[in-house]
């Protein structure tokens, strides 16, 4: 299973808000064996949301959209997602009933805008806030507030499933450019993929679908690169 993440909000593009939702979702999906192929941030514009969701829905098994839910003028995510699927936005009876019965909200003002979802969608109730999310075919629309997004994702997490992968890490006290031969060789010797991440040292991330294979490859690498501990003496 592969997925794309679309985060919505002008505040993300101006740097006023850190995009922690994307990082958190990538980690949770990776834990479930789902490959994240795209992470895209779009402004609070209905046309941009519709275009990106339409494209990613055609390309990937699932699309997760976060942000821009609610009744304020800049909350246009539901309209954008509805447009991507050629649907109208309409007041969702189940979402309204939940807001009134479980959320404790009364009056039509809250329901208008807040509980308007793409026609035919499945509502996702917001146990940590107000605005509901929705599932439209394979597109999951979640709130932008991190606590609300995380709680809502937990309710649908079991719908995301892929091949489990296992990771081992090796720290190398060599420049990345000098490790290329070992990185290539470990990929030939073992059924693994290797990522290289330079910093103060170079972290070699070994990923495999078999935990024993990941351990064997990491052990081989550890024997064939300069050890961080030795260089620290």
pLDDT in tens, 29-78: 999 999 999 999 999 999 999 999 999 999 999 999 999 998 888 899 99
Q: Is 232 helix (H, G, I), strand (E, B) or coil?
A: helix
Same domain, 139 and 180: no
Q: Give backbone dihedrals phi and psi of 154, rounded to 5 degrees, phi first.
A: -60, -30
Beta bridge partners of 140: 64, 135
Q: Considering 140, 159, 178, which residue would you say is the last residue of a domain?
A: 159
Q: Considering 125, 159, 193, which residue would you say is the last residue of a domain?
A: 159
Same domain, 139 and 228: no
By the 8 A CB rule, do 185 and 194 touch? no
Same domain, 37 and 133: yes
Same domain, 121 and 199: no
Mean pLDDT of the chain: 92
Same domain, 79 and 16: yes
Q: How far apart are CA 195 and CA 5, in angstroms?
A: 22
pTM of the model: 0.82
Q: How far apart are CA 155 and CA 6, in angstroms?
A: 19
The mean per-residue pLDDT over the stretch 161-189 comes to 92
The mean per-residue pLDDT over the stretch 98-119 comes to 75
| CATH number of the domain that residue 210 is part of | 3.30.310
Q: How far apart are CA 170 and CA 217, in angstroms?
A: 10
Residue 233 confidence (pLDDT)? 47
Q: Considering 159, 183, 217, which residue would you say is the last residue of a domain?
A: 159
DSSP state of 210: S
Q: pLDDT per residue over 182-207, tens digit each?
A: 999 999 999 999 999 998 899 999 99
């Amino acid at each position: 299973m592969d997925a794309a993440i679309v985060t919505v909000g002008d505040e993300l593009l101006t740097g006023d808000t850190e995009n922690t939702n994307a990082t958190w979702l990538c980690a949770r999906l990776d834990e479930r064996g789902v490959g994240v192929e795209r992470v895209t941030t779009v402004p609070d514009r209905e046309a941009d949301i519709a275009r990106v969701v339409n494209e990613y829905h055609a390309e990937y098994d699932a699309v997760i959209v976060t942000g821009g839910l609610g009744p304020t003028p800049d909350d246009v995510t539901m309209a954008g997602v509805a447009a991507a699927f050629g649907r109208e936005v309409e007041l969702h009876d189940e979402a309204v009933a939940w807001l009134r019965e479980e959320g404790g909200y009364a009056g039509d003002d809250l329901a208008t805008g807040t509980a308007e979802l793409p026609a035919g969608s499945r509502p996702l109730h917001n146990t940590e806030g107000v605005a509901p999310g929705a599932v439209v075919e394979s597109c999951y629309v979640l709130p932008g507030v991190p606590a609300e997004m995380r709680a809502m994702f937990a309710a649908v997490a079991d719908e995301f499933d892929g091949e489990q992968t296992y990771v081992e890490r090796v720290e190398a006290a060599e420049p990345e450019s000098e490790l290329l031969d070992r990185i290539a060789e470990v990929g030939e010797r073992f059924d693994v993929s290797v990522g290289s991440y330079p910093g103060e040292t170079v972290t070699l991330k070994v990923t495999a679908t078999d935990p024993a294979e990941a351990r064997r490859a990491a052990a081989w690498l550890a024997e064939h690169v300069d050890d961080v501990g030795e260089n620290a003496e």
